[in-house]
Structure 1
Amino acid sequence: MSWLDLPPGTGFGVDNLPYGVFSAPGTARRTGVAVGDAVLDLAAATGDDVHTTGSLNAFMARGPRAWAALRAQLTGWLTDPAHRGRVEPHLRPLSEVVLHLPVEVADYVDFYSSRHHAEELGRVLRPGTPPLTPNWLHLPIGYHGRAGTVAVSGTPVVRPSGQRKAPADDAPTFGPTQRLDVEAEVGFVVGVGSDLGTPVPLTGLAEHVFGVCLVNDWSARDLQAWEYVPLGPFLGKSFLTSVSPWVVPLVALEAARVPPPAREVPLLPYLDDTLTEPWGLDITLEVRLDGELVSRPPFASTYWTAAQQLAHLTVNGAALRTGDLFASGTVSGPEDGQRGSLVELSRAGERPLVLPGGRTRSFLEDGDEVRITATAPGTGGGRISLGEVTGRVEAARAS
């Protein structure tokens, strides 16, 4: 319980305490923690300059002991009425602050971890061939993205231009994408780096990953289909990746841990999590288009866990850095209403979505707004929120 008058059903209770970066009139960017409808100014409340840097990186680099110590301190402050006089003056209404990108992103890697998504997209991009590539059940496939175009929720989505070639065309054409899509994902933020040449084992996730956020890896499917052979996604992905402004501490998701789906092939030892406590997570996402709920992807069905992704990402000796972001790839379930992208929901345009008023959508049009939210079981018995990641599509700009 808290002495705060928390809104009923808030996902930002004391068992969550997600971190972000905010500014207000008269203040520079600083670290805050969301509590109910307010943000606690950590720079003012703690007097620690690490919270005045304008990003979470410096605090995250202090490591798990520092993370645990501050969380325990905040929990005590917010549950013991004796601290009310000290803490309350540093609470600001969320409606009065501006939220910013919470971390300085060092590297960005996007995985392809949902089997349901991989199979459906394989049918679209590689018709007439097996939907899964031969390596998919043996390792978490991923690509290195562009860290410089990771932006906070609310950043406009400018329609990208590039080359595209339909199967019936004799040659590629250039212009704005005609198949702009969303990808509802879960992201993991690295707090503590690793040494070059030293892999991170399956058991190392909590020692390196600070927390979890929501990701929308916007995708231009026509650009992607033409360019991705043989080296994978490039311009069809690199124009923008949106992330939620709040990073939920990994420890806040302890009650959400579940076993991942059963493996169909034996895994090599560095990926075999049968002898460790697995890192499947019971997170339910919701995707809304112009306010209308179009999908509820279940993250628990994701085939490859974050621990396996991290182990594979570093098994060749690649070093982690504070601020690294790696994402799950599109989260999709087995049912039609559980797909995390429009290319799946509309069957690549063959079965457009019908929205209220008779509007239809196969892919995004200018002016469309996408909002992704998510919740998970909390340690207090209710559900915690991962916040939201939003974006509105704007017309392509002239070169």
Structure 2
Amino acid sequence: MPEQNPLAPLDPAQPTGPTGPTDPVEPVETVGPSSPLDLAEGDPFGPHNLPYGVFTRPGHGYPERRGGVRLGEFVLDAGAAAAALGSPYVSLLAQPTLNPLLAAGRTAWSDVRRALTAWVTVPAHREVVEPLLHPLSEVTLHLPFEVADYVDFYSSENHARNVGRIFRPDAADSLTPNWKHLPIGYHGRSGTVVVSGTDVVRPCGQRKAPADPAPVFGPSVRLDIEAEVAFVVGVPSGMGTSVALSDFREHVFGLSLLNDWSARDLQAWEYVPLGPFLGKSFATSVSAWITPLEALDAARVAPPERTHPLLPYLDDSAESAADEPGGYDLRISVAINGHVVSRPPFSTMYWTAAQQLAHMTVNGASLRTGDLYASGTVSGPGESERGSLLELTWNGRDPLDLPDGKRTFLEDGDVVTLSAWAPGPGGTKVGLGEVTGRIRPAA
């Protein structure tokens, strides 16, 4: 299929799939359901999904944060439901953060998920559960867990090659020599991870264009996005030990969308020789909802073909499909001010989340409950599948035509929204919680 012009509207008639444009999750129209438990057919947030979050309900007697589970356009007070139904999982669900549930481990995750599914599907529970479902329009969503450490990877070959072609156009190979041998990453700043809907203040810092005689200080003029997928660690590991590929699911609870906001001008001046610093640390936005890995079993796919032999701790060729989760077929949509500019396919990522976790711990670095690690920018092979403005505009050379004007990089007031869905069981769709953020002027 020929590549598309990223400035042209994406054709919804084109086939969907890992290498083609796909539709974002659209709200499902409901016609007066008699109960929040009566979802419209095909709702991407049905009982097959059940992502976790944390909410308050100001003005309705819910001033304290509490764990919740999304069902359609409602959130279930999971702790209250557990208490009302005499569940042994009250201590995990009736908390102001998801960290206790994350730390409980895979057996508890599966047991809790089975219980929640029964609570929202078994008619005998309806009378108890219905009053504990609250409209999303009446709640405030919060960062669902306490972030411990944050690591960001660089695992899309399409993205890495695009960046190489932009900044090293004369190089014999657009990839760095190490790229096919290990998942490249850096340690970020966990304290500036924020929940979707949080405004992002344009960062200030030093920048220096190649022709400038000296650096200057001021607001970033090349503010960018990076459409990514984040993985949330539940079970910790000991310092001095490593996590094998086959143990990925013993440690990782779920995933969510993530926007790694990037000040490209600050980044370009500061990153040699130690990599990203102030150009990345001012804000990282994550979804308010964590989708458990069990909800995504139908979306598992094989990663791209390996073109270089891998060292044993990264070699996933010998792992069985049951033990090695491989890649995930997530269909991402990137919109600026409501206008879709890209649809990056996560299934094209060269390095998997299991390989990233194995590499992150192979030196003996320990995991903590609440560790967050991100995939790096998700980009597909087509021009309309690039996950950053750096690529979509080819470093500002080819501006995007939006209904409200041209864009090379983000302007104050711009609202960026990432949404996504994945194939679910029986032909359903699993919706991922969106990530949105508005750019505010520099302080």
Q: Into which bin does the TM-score normalised by the smaller protein fall?
A: over 0.9
2:46 maps to what in 1? 13
Per-residue CA distance 1:91-131 (angstroms, 9 max, x = gap): 11111110000110000000000011111112233343332
Q: Please say if residues 235 and 250 of structure 2, whose CA atoms lie closer than 8 Å, have aligned partners that are also in contact.
A: yes
Could you tell me which of 264, 267, 277 is aligned with 1:221? Answer: 264
2:406 maps to what in 1? 360
Could you tell me which of 235, 240, 244 is aligned with 2:278? Answer: 235
User: What is the CA distance between 1:3 and its match in structure 2?
Assistant: 8.7
Q: Please say if residues 29 and 52 of structure 1, whose CA atoms lie closer than 8 Å, have aligned partners that are also in contact.
A: no
| Residue identity (%) | 64
1:65 maps to what in 2? 107
- Alignment CA distance shift 1:306-1:77 (3 Å): same
1:36 maps to what in 2? 72
Residue 390 (structure 1) aligned with residue 436 (structure 2): yes
User: What is the CA distance between 1:54 and its match in structure 2?
Assistant: 1.5
Could you tell me which of 71, 75, 91 is aligned with 2:117? Answer: 75
2:425 maps to what in 1? 379
User: What is the CA distance between 1:211 and its match in structure 2?
Assistant: 0.4
Q: Please say if residues 111 and 329 of structure 1, whose CA atoms lie closer than 8 Å, have aligned partners that are also in contact.
A: yes
Q: Please say if residues 3 and 78 of structure 1, whose CA atoms lie closer than 8 Å, have aligned partners that are also in contact.
A: no
Q: Please say if residues 284 and 299 of structure 1, whose CA atoms lie closer than 8 Å, have aligned partners that are also in contact.
A: yes
SS in 1 for 2:378: coil
User: What is the CA distance between 1:13 and its match in structure 2?
Assistant: 0.7
Residue 137 (structure 1) aligned with residue 173 (structure 2): no
SS in 1 for 2:437: strand
Per-residue CA distance 1:323-343 (angstroms, 9 max, x = gap): 000000000001000000001
Point out where structure 1 has 5 or more consecutive residues left out of the alignment.
Answer: none
Q: Please say if residues 3 and 84 of structure 1, whose CA atoms lie closer than 8 Å, have aligned partners that are also in contact.
A: no
Residue 280 (structure 1) aligned with residue 327 (structure 2): yes
The amino acid across from 2:222 in the alignment is R
Q: Please say if residues 36 and 133 of structure 2, whose CA atoms lie closer than 8 Å, have aligned partners that are also in contact.
A: no
User: What is the CA distance between 1:291 and its match in structure 2?
Assistant: 0.3
User: What is the CA distance between 1:9 and its match in structure 2?
Assistant: 3.2
Could you tell me which of 85, 92, 95 is aligned with 1:53? Answer: 95
Q: Please say if residues 256 and 283 of structure 1, whose CA atoms lie closer than 8 Å, have aligned partners that are also in contact.
A: yes
1: CA distance between counterparts of 2:296 and 2:392? 29
2: CA distance between counterparts of 1:225 and 1:123? 15
The amino acid across from 1:132 in the alignment is L
Q: Please say if residues 418 and 436 of structure 2, whose CA atoms lie closer than 8 Å, have aligned partners that are also in contact.
A: yes
2:364 maps to what in 1? 317
Name the stretch that deviates more: 39-48 or 106-115. 39-48
1: CA distance between counterparts of 2:372 and 2:266? 24
The amino acid across from 1:73 in the alignment is A
Per-residue CA distance 1:164-194 (angstroms, 9 max, x = gap): 1111111111111010000000000001001
Name the stretch that deviates more: 125-134 or 302-311. 125-134
1:113 maps to what in 2? 155
2:352 maps to what in 1? 305
2: CA distance between counterparts of 1:83 and 1:194? 38
Could you tell me which of 348, 372, 375 is aligned with 2:395? Answer: 348
Q: Tell me how large the CA RMSD over aligned residues is.
A: 1.2
Structure 1 residues 147-296: aligned runs within 5 Å: 147-276=190-319, 277=321, 278=324, 279-296=326-343
The amino acid across from 1:45 in the alignment is A
TM-score scaled to structure 2, two decimals?
Answer: 0.87
Name the stretch that deviates more: 52-61 or 267-276. 52-61
SS in 2 for 1:29: strand
Q: Please say if residues 36 and 130 of structure 2, whose CA atoms lie closer than 8 Å, have aligned partners that are also in contact.
A: no
2: CA distance between counterparts of 1:171 and 1:123? 26
2: CA distance between counterparts of 1:378 and 1:109? 28
SS in 2 for 1:285: strand
2: CA distance between counterparts of 1:50 and 1:84? 22
Residue 100 (structure 1) aligned with residue 147 (structure 2): no
Q: Please say if residues 3 and 79 of structure 1, whose CA atoms lie closer than 8 Å, have aligned partners that are also in contact.
A: no
Provide the aligned length of Structure 1 versus Structure 2: 395
1:22 maps to what in 2? 55
1: CA distance between counterparts of 2:191 and 2:230? 16
2: CA distance between counterparts of 1:380 and 1:38? 23
2: CA distance between counterparts of 1:246 and 1:168? 45
2: CA distance between counterparts of 1:219 and 1:99? 24
Q: Please say if residues 6 and 37 of structure 1, whose CA atoms lie closer than 8 Å, have aligned partners that are also in contact.
A: no
Per-residue CA distance 1:35-72 (angstroms, 9 max, x = gap): 01111101110121433432100111111111111111
Residue 336 (structure 1) aligned with residue 383 (structure 2): yes
1: CA distance between counterparts of 2:95 and 2:264? 38
User: What is the CA distance between 1:8 and its match in structure 2?
Assistant: 4.1
SS in 1 for 2:390: helix
The amino acid across from 1:395 in the alignment is P
Q: Please say if residues 285 and 375 of structure 1, whose CA atoms lie closer than 8 Å, have aligned partners that are also in contact.
A: yes
Per-residue CA distance 1:291-346 (angstroms, 9 max, x = gap): 00000000000000000000000000110000000000000001000000001000
1:369 maps to what in 2? 415
TM-score scaled to structure 1, two decimals?
Answer: 0.97
